[in-house]
Amino acid sequence: MNQDQNAPLREDVRLLGEELGAVLRNQVGEPLFDTVENIRQAAVESRSKGAMQADHLRELLDPLDDATLLEVARAFSQFLNLANIAEQRHRERLHRQHQRFPGDPDTDRGLRQVLAELSKAGKSPEEIHGTLKELSVELVLTAHPTEVTRRTLIRKYDRVADLLNTLDRPDLTPEESQDLRRHLQEQILSAWSTDEIRRSRPTPVDEARWGFATIEQSLWQALPRSMREIDSELALAKLPPLPVDWVPIHFASWMGGDRDGNPNVTASVTREVLHLARWMAADLYLRDVENLLADLSMHRASEELLQRTGPSHEPYRLVLRQVRDRLKITREKMEARIGRRAEPSGLAFSSSEQLADELRLIDRSLRAVGLSAIADGQLKDTLRRLNCFGITLLRLDIRQESTRHADTLDAITRYLGMGNYSSWSEEEKQEFLVSELDSRRPLVDESFYRSDFCDEEVSEVLQTCKVIAEQGPEGLGAYVISMATTPSDVLAVMLLQKIAGVQVPMRVVPLFETLDDLDGAATTMSTLLNIPLYKQRVLDGQEVMIGYSDSAKDAGFLGAAWAQYRTQEALTGIFRNHGIPLTLFHGRGGSISRGGSPTRMALLSQPPGSIAGRIRVTEQGEMIRFKYGRPSVAAYNLEQYVAATLEATLMPPAEPRSEWRAEMDRLTEVSVGNYREVVQDDPALVAYLRTVTPETELSRLALGSRPARRKPGGGVESLRAIPWVFAWTQIRLMLPAWLGTGAALENALKHADETDILRDMSRQWPFFQGVVDMLEMVLAKADPRVASWYEERLTQDAELIQLGVSLRERLAHTVEALKQLTGRESLLDNNPVMRWSIRVRDPYTDPLHLLQAELMARLRERESDAVLESALMVTIAGIAAGMRNTG
């Protein structure tokens, strides 16, 4: 990207900084403003000399009392949030440039370029058309707690972004510009006057409402906008048109369904979330129908429609009024269910097909009488929304841990006098499960639920299955089994659904998470496919989830990445041989150590043949807001998914060479050993994590409804992947993203033959290119000097200090090894926008890091102090904003 393209971003950052400064002067007074500015200038000057020097900053911060520290933290945190808004706005600006100049190499690769390359590669219009028609991209919104910004503030920040957008207009008068700046300062003042910190944890229902709000405020508009852009690109490429309501993108959710380690997600919560989703869907379609009622006033109609309405001067409105009445009844029935009241009488919509039939009737009529242009307007948008969101808004996944299912079956077998299921061999479990699945008799009756064997946890598992039975299939997606290891884990969920009377079972999706589980995934699925009853039930398709978070926590980034690749390869081959379509469900997070990466890079780095027109991916936490929080950005990201999935399907990367595979095996052997040497074998690591990072303090931040740990106490193994990553990010050590990888690269680069192979891999293999690019990005965000500040303030333990020195040495060696591999003198030389983004934030994150260490020390001395706690939470949120990701 050239300098001119980056100039508007710099100008927006400068403008927002000026307006924040004006607010600070007015709100906290000149002395505090001067304090903040002196600290900022000191940070800027220090960074300009190279590595950050903390001494002068400490001299400015140490004399400040607790209340002043809070205001200083808020000022720097607020700027970082405003800088993120400017970057988000700049992405919208670049998207418009991408639309105007799609051939510009400095803009993101979109569908137009993919279609051109497919044509150039000899792919026929029929092949492209057929692949597109069957394309399936499902994005799963999760409630993983990585969004630190309150929804109240997000709305204010969206308004700031809107104002920046308007200020871009070249035809503004001086008076209009001045008025917009006044409104901008009002919004910044409003944000400054709002508490940044969520004071109470959201409930799972709150999280679900947040997901619904993302659809209402952004995705509802973005989906048809994205589809229209795709239509335009297909027409430009002279491809035949696709069906009127064709939508390759769908949405699912874990919000209110993910009970893995979260006791707050119960059967009643899941039921309420499903009802709320249907209420929201009915409400949104009502708005669409009201708009259609206003527009479709024409009298010409087909015989088919007139047979329905009889003679009328406004036949479309007659049909739409009936649709409106049914939607109102649907909404009222959902309100009654949520409030546990008697439902009103009247005919509601119970399936998407019922509503689609009504809308398609109108569509056919308009086209039959020569009004296709009108049919292609709002009606087409609504039909596409219906095809995407259905009448349930989202398909809700259920996720539960495998041992909970085993415990439930154990209770049942003991109740029936059959012995202890949990003590049976895997072969015995499979034999029992298949026999019961094939049997027509019920395994247990209602008396089991009243017995002592059915304790609270067992009852909850079965009650969840009863919710599945009562809700029906349309609003439900996958039943995901976390920590799946054996075939019986999958068969168990199938049997539990049968016990609960589920008529149309949810598809059962094993989630393979740890390194051992990934390595054993192919054997597990092969065993299942060799069971005739199982194979018959998945002939239409199987879904398997690949876990990125826990595998990386278990084996490190590089070891996990290669295990995930090999597992996908093996599964793709197995299901191809059986003639069964496979959908791989990628459990990615926002950070590198949880599988995060740009869309195209992520999809094209998968093994060849593993996409095959079908992809399912989690979108979580702050990434939902960054990628889908604004309609224009969301529309662009949806198009990117379609383009990348099409490209990965029809132009997959070549098979990796045998020498590349051998090199990856060598690299990961060193990497996993080096990673576990520190994380699992060094007894000082857990103490370092809890002393030097804010890992223990993170539990004070009301991020999500889920506990930070699977079990109270315990070591690294009990810590969830998100706080594990979050804690290291806060001190800029970024440990999970590079530990082990540097040692592996350093070892390989000692040998000329391996060096040549590595460079070939980084030039020619998308998988390894992605590894290198993401490693470079995270290393550019790391800062060993910042990490050392926390040590200096928070510990005098010689063992912990020595461990810190060792970790920083490993980090420095990783940076040098990466530079040697890429041949670049500085990190991100090939990505000036990212480099600038990090540098512009450093003078604001540096004071927050020092403040955080100081606040942690003071809080640990006093144990409880409301002002200090607030200030600490502000620094956590501010640093997360500065790093642009949390977990």
98 is catalytic: no
Q: How far is CA 842 from CA 4, 307, 491, 848, in A?
A: 23, 69, 52, 10
Distance CA 684, CA 668 (A): 24
Residues 6+ apart with CB under 8 A from 27: 189, 192, 193
Rounded (to 5) percent helix, strand, coil in the chain: 65, 5, 25
Q: Are strands 395-401 and 476-482 parallel, antiparallel or unpaired?
A: parallel
Name every residue whose Cβ is closer than 8 Å to that of residue 838 and which is 6 or more positions away in sequence: 780, 781, 828
* Whole-number Cα distances in Å, 415 to 443, 450, 460, 500: 11, 11, 17, 17
Joined together, the tokens standing for residue 761 give 């891999």
Could you write out the DSSP letters of every residue in 49-99? Answer: TSS---HHHHHHHTT--HHHHHHHHHHHHHHHHHHHHHHHHHHHHHHHHHH
**Residue in this structure with the two tokens 């529309």, named with its chain if needed:** 635
Which residue in 689, 663, 680, 681 sits closest to 558, CA to CA? Answer: 663
96-125 b/e with 16+ CB inside 10 Å = b?
eebbeebeeeebbbbbbbbbeebeeeebee
- Round to whole Å and give the CA distance between 681 and 683: 6
Tell me the C-alpha distance between 87 and 11, whole Å.
11
Whether 586 is a known active-site residue: answer no
CA distances from 204 to 402, 416, 460, 627, 632 (A): 21, 35, 16, 22, 28
Contact predicate 444/401, CB 8 Å? no
90, 144, 333, 849: which is the annotated catalytic residue? 144
From the CB of residue 504, how many other CB atoms can be counted at a distance below 10 Å?
Answer: 11
Identify whether the C-beta of residue 576 lies closer than 8 Å to the C-beta of residue 608.
no
CA distance 359 to 327: 13
Nearest of 483, 504, 472 to residue 396 by alpha carbon: 472
In order of 520, 711, 722, 730, the CA distances from 511 in angstroms are: 12, 20, 17, 29
Helix, strand, or coil here: 18?
Answer: helix
Candidate list 275, 380, 553, 586, residue with the active-site label: 553
CB contact at 8 A, 854 and 70:
no
The helix/strand/coil state of 266 is coil
Q: What is the DSSP string of 362-378?
A: HHHHHHHTT-HHHIIII
Catalytically active residues, by annotation: 144, 553
